[in-house]
Amino acid sequence: MTDRTAGDTDAALSQQALRLGGRVFPPGEMIVMGIVNRTPDSFYDRGATFTLAAAVAAAERALDAGAAIVDIGGVKAAEGDPVSPTEELDRVCAVIAAVRSRRPEAVISVDTWRSGVARAAVTAGADLVNDAWEGYDPDLVRVAADAGVGVVCTHAGHLPPRTEPDNPRYDDVVADVVRTVSHLAERAVAAGVSRDQILVDPGHDFGKTTVQSLEITRGLTDIVGTGWPVLVAMSNKDFIGETLDLPVTARLPGTLAVTALAAWLGARVFRAHNVDEVRQVLDMVSSVRGERAPAVRRRGISSPNRSDGRPTAVT
């Protein structure tokens, strides 16, 4: 067997197991995180899952389609109408409690930068705090530590929450990501979060231009090389739309392309709107890498016991 890109895909295989909720994901296993937006103004679904019933149903569909984690958020990342902590808490906690009741095996993530919301969310049943805003609230990691849950440490271009980038500049954007997420992860450890419950996210589109988001995608091996499991949140984002000059509704092929690349380069968790398609991409990459056997093996194999009763000729 020929040597794979040495040091690239093998970097993912050398990482530690990831422990979230009641699940332990072994090194190298690639995980889908289904997105559930309980917001009226999501860039992707425009409020389609804003009601409680719709949000819970979306979470269950994601789990049925192959997601191991569902990420529940109550505030869109971009600028928009203000959402108070109380309103955000009301939006996410009811969904978390309902999903926990219906799907006790699921790993549930809350997408928030606010420690008060995170505290209520873990009480409701969340296993992971997905902080997309670079530790803006310093108490958030303490909440995760006290509750014994995981945390996502994200590079957001050193911007406060819900801030759009304005001509961001970096001497080396990949190096800045590596330095920042490594610092955030070690800060989480110092606060008491277990090392096997910490992920890092390079933050595509957060504090970055399209060119910079493409650059961190190419540089994922350096981020994987930190040893922290890498989560990528690329699904249908603007850097894909601008690269291909396509609206949100036409970005799935681009999303799947960067998903395959990120998987090959060692990312572990993939935040996705289109769970079924992303799961298929990850399974295909795993099979090419030799980590997953094909679901069926019929082609070119002579057998008198085929499902249709006819032998298959060797070709």
Give the model's confidence band at 13: pLDDT under 50 very low, under 70 low, under 90 confident, else very high: very low
Q: What is the mean pLDDT of residues 104-132?
A: 98
**Residue corresponding to tokens 């997601």:** 67
Give the model's confidence band at 309: pLDDT under 50 very low, under 70 low, under 90 confident, else very high: low
pTM: 0.90
Q: Which helix (H) or strand (E) holds 99?
A: helix 85-102
Catalytic residue among 76, 91, 119, 237: 237
Q: Which helix (H) or strand (E) holds 182?
A: helix 173-191
**Other residues' Cβ atoms within 10 Å of the Cβ of residue 41:** 15
Contact 282, 301 (CB under 8 A): no
∠ CA 114-86-149, rounded to 5°? 40
Would residue 208 show up in a list of annotated catalytic residues for this protein?
A: no
Kindly write down the DSSP assignment for every residue of 233-249, as one continuous string.
--TT-HHHHHHHT--GG
Residue 2 has pLDDT above 50, yes or no: no
247-278 in b/e form (b: 16+ CB < 10 A) is: ebeebbebbbebbbbbbbbbbbbbbbbbbebb
The whole-number pLDDT of residue 21 equals: 95
Would residue 142 show up in a list of annotated catalytic residues for this protein?
A: no
The whole-chain average pLDDT of the chain stands at 92
**Other residues' Cβ atoms within 10 Å of the Cβ of residue 164:** 11
Domain boundaries, the chain: 9-288
Domain 9-288 class in CATH: alpha beta
Strands (E) across 79-142 are located at 107-111, 128-131
Q: Which amino acid does the sequence have at 97? A: A
Contact 306, 266 (CB under 8 A): no
Residue 263 has pLDDT above 90, yes or no: yes
**Other residues' Cβ atoms within 10 Å of the Cβ of residue 307:** 8
Residue 3 has pLDDT above 70, yes or no: no
The whole-number pLDDT of residue 30 equals: 97
Backbone angles phi, psi at 229, to 5 degrees: -60, 135
What own/partner pairs with CB < 8 Å and gap ≥ 24 does 299-305 have? none
Residue 233 has pLDDT above 70, yes or no: yes
Helix (H, G, I), strand (E, B), or coil: what is residue 71? Answer: strand
State the burial class of residue 313 (Cβ atoms within 10 Å of its Cβ: 0-12, 13-18, 19+). Answer: exposed
Q: What is the mean pLDDT of residues 198-202?
A: 98
Residue 236 has pLDDT above 70, yes or no: yes
Strands (E) across 133-277 are located at 150-154, 198-201, 231-232, 269-272
Adjacent-strand bridge partners of 37: 73
The whole-number pLDDT of residue 162 equals: 95
∠ CA 19-137-167, rounded to 5°? 100
Give the model's confidence band at 305: pLDDT under 50 very low, under 70 low, under 90 confident, else very high: low
The whole-number pLDDT of residue 255 equals: 98
DSSP-derived letter for residue 209 is -
Closest CA to 93 of 147, 23, 149, 38: 38
**Residue corresponding to tokens 């970005």:** 251
